[in-house]
């Protein structure tokens, strides 16, 4: 039965209106998956998180990975904050909003994208939740806490999703006003197993002086996660969107995994070859 559910959920729905009309069907299948994971957790027979990937709204298979994580830790805080996802439609949080009653905040520096996203979430609402908050901002390490607080969010939240193609590392490091249960953040797998971070630049705008010269390596990001009280539990198949869970949450059911184990996709070899042209540039090791 579960393989049939996964087959249905893996189908990419081309038009957002079709997604909306079928969302009840998708919701039922996801809740069946939740029950399956929870039963497997009780019987100590959980599938590997890396086999749980499904794409519904997310860019790749992050929807399924996050569903797996929240099935195990429990959806005790249905709040998300996501920035860098453009209009929020193809995001890591849209599935949680539409099918699991999460509420939250989307932030981006593109006003046209935010208008598009606000229109979509207002037109295709979750009947049980008000639409997400959309906030236009150029995000920096200096203003991130004020931006979050001014939008009405503080304390514990369920999910923090960061993908700003630049200062991701420095912005997460600066965040103090919220304590996420789960963090999904883009790392720069082009840097391979090097422990390096591109220096902070509050005025950075992609692609900067080189399209690969930004962000933090998976190793450096995982070191930061540990300092902030999180452990690495998985990543998307391509090995750049890393998922961290707060240390106090189900450590046995969601054990820590190594960075190396998540950089096995063939695309990583090609990505790391691009590092050669910038390997002697300035980097920070914290």
What is the reported pLDDT for 23?
54
Buried b (16+ CB within 10 A) or exposed e, 114-143: bebbbebbeebebeebebbbbbebebbbee
Burial class (CB in 10 A: 0-12, 13-18, 19+), 92: buried
Structure tokens at 183: 């963090």
What is the reported pLDDT for 74?
97
Burial class (CB in 10 A: 0-12, 13-18, 19+), 163: buried
What phi, psi does 88 have (nearest 5°)? 85, -5
Report CA torsion sign: 214, 52, 87, 161.
Answer: negative
Place of tokens 């950075």: 204
Interval 198-237: pLDDT, tens? 999 999 988 889 999 999 999 999 999 999 999 999 999 9
Structural domains for the chain: 2-278 (3.40.50.150)
What is the reported pLDDT for 127?
86
Interval 128-143: pLDDT, tens? 899 999 999 999 999 9
Asked if residues 243 and 199 have their Cβ atoms less than 8 Å apart, the reply is: no
**Crossing angle of helices 23-42/62-73, nearest 10°?**
50
What is the chain's pLDDT, residue by residue, as a tens digit (286 residues)?
Answer: 444 434 433 433 344 444 544 456 888 889 999 999 999 999 999 999 999 999 999 999 999 999 999 999 999 999 999 999 999 999 999 999 999 999 999 999 999 999 999 999 998 888 889 999 999 999 999 999 999 999 999 999 999 999 998 999 999 999 999 999 999 999 999 999 999 999 999 999 888 899 999 999 999 999 999 999 999 999 999 999 999 999 999 999 999 999 999 999 999 888 899 999 999 999 999 8
Structure tokens at 26: 């998708």
What is the reported pLDDT for 24?
61
Burial class (CB in 10 A: 0-12, 13-18, 19+), 20: middle
What is the reported pLDDT for 9?
39
């Amino acid at each position: 039965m579960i393989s049939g559910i996964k087959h249905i959920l893996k189908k990419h729905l081309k038009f957002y209106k079709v997604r909306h009309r079928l969302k009840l069907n998708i919701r039922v299948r996801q809740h069946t998956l939740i029950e399956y994971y929870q039963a497997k957790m009780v019987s100590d027979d959980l599938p590997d998180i890396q086999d749980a990937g499904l794409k519904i709204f997310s860019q790749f298979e992050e929807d399924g990975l996050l569903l797996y994580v929240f099935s195990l830790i429990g959806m005790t805080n249905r709040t998300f904050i996501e920035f860098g996802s453009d209009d929020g439609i193809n995001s890591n949080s849209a599935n949680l909003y539409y099918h699991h009653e999460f509420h939250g905040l989307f932030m981006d520096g593109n006003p046209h994208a935010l208008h598009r996203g606000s229109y979509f979430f207002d037109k295709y609402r979750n009947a049980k939740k008000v639409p997400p908050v959309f906030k236009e901002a150029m995000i920096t390490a200096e203003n991130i806490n004020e931006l979050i607080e001014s939008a009405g969010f503080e304390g514990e939240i369920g999910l923090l999703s960061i993908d700003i193609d630049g200062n991701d590392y420095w912005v997460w490091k600066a965040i103090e006003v919220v304590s996420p249960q789960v963090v999904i953040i883009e790392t720069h797998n082009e840097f391979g197993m090097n422990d390096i971070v591109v220096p902070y630049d509050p005025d950075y705008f992609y692609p900067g002086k080189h399209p690969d010269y930004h962000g933090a390596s998976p190793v450096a990001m995982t070191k930061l996660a540990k300092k902030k009280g999180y452990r690495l539990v998985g990543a998307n198949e391509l090995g750049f969107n890393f998922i961290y869970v707060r240390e106090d949450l189900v450590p046995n059911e969601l054990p820590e995994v190594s960075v190396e184990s998540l950089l096995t996709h063939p695309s990583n070899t090609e990505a790391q070859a691009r590092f050669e042209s910038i390997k002697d540039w300035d980097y920070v090791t914290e």
